[in-house]
Amino acid sequence: MTVAIFGAAGQLGRDLVPRMAALDEDVIALTRTDGDFTQPLSIRTFLATQRPRWVINCAAYNFVDRAETEPEAAFAVNAVAVQVLAEACRAMGTKLVHFSTDYVFGRDESRQTPYREDDPPGPVNVYGQSKWRGEQAVLAASVGHLVIRTCGLYGVWGSGGKGRNFVETMLRLAAAGQPLRVVNDQRCSPSYTVDVAETTVELLRRDAEGVFHVTNTGDCTWYEFAVEIFRQAGLEPELTPITSRDYGATARRPAYSVLSTQKLTSIGLPSPRPWPKALAAYLKERGMKSTLT
């Protein structure tokens, strides 16, 4: 039996592919060249030919600010193509695992408790809206499909077309001696791709369906995350907390988008480790990788 992974060259896909060996499945690792989500009919043709047991979608349009000025591109990849994928999987009796985001939430500006899977979404930007539309398409296609929401991903393989993740950006700018201004009024749960990948494998082992939240536990602002990055890395750059308004990003971000992982524990799975411990593991892996490249 086989599992096809779209977006296999991205930071989450690169950590997920080798861990699928735990399920004794043959993996078809698909990059944008193999499965172009801007040409969704080609995806349907590929699936009809290969007929995998599972399909995992790590591919996405994830340029949050750019989506505000090119919404058609965001919806084409995150919603339209996902609907084609979900319906093709339903027609073949294939299970689809689709990754989504904490950015489907954020409209409730008074929120101070983690979002559960059954809380009503309320995205505040085009990217979040497109991802929410994709979720709806997956869940409407089949009750057996699985949607995994995660948050603030970082892994040693970078961040797809964006080239870097937040941790790498902070370390690069600090090494260059640049003063840093980091937003301190957006609270989330930054998540290590290794932990998300390993939990995904366990969800598949249990044939989970519906919506699950998978993030490292605990929460912080991006400024607090940066402080911990530099503490663990032994760096002392000039670091200043600022507001979202001061930063002036094109797209509005949620002030609070922490996701509850209690549903994982309800089916006997542990929540991923606290985010500071995950960060330490990332920095260790990053150091090991640098000695090999």
Residues annotated as catalytic (active site), given as ranges: 127
Count, residues in the chain? 293
- Phi and psi at 154, nearest 5°, equal -145, 140
Q: Are strands 180-183 and 191-192 parallel, antiparallel or unpaired?
A: unpaired
Distinct helix (H) and strand (E) counts, the chain: 11, 12
The Cα–Cα gap between 194 and 199 comes to 9
Burial class (CB in 10 A: 0-12, 13-18, 19+), 200: buried
Any idea what the Cα angle at residue 57 is, between residues 53 and 63, rounded to 5°?
175
- Phi and psi at 5, nearest 5°, equal -115, 110
Identity of residue 56 = I
Segments in the chain forming alpha helices (H): 11-19, 40-50, 71-75, 81-92, 126-141, 166-175, 193-205, 222-233, 244-247, 262-266, 275-290
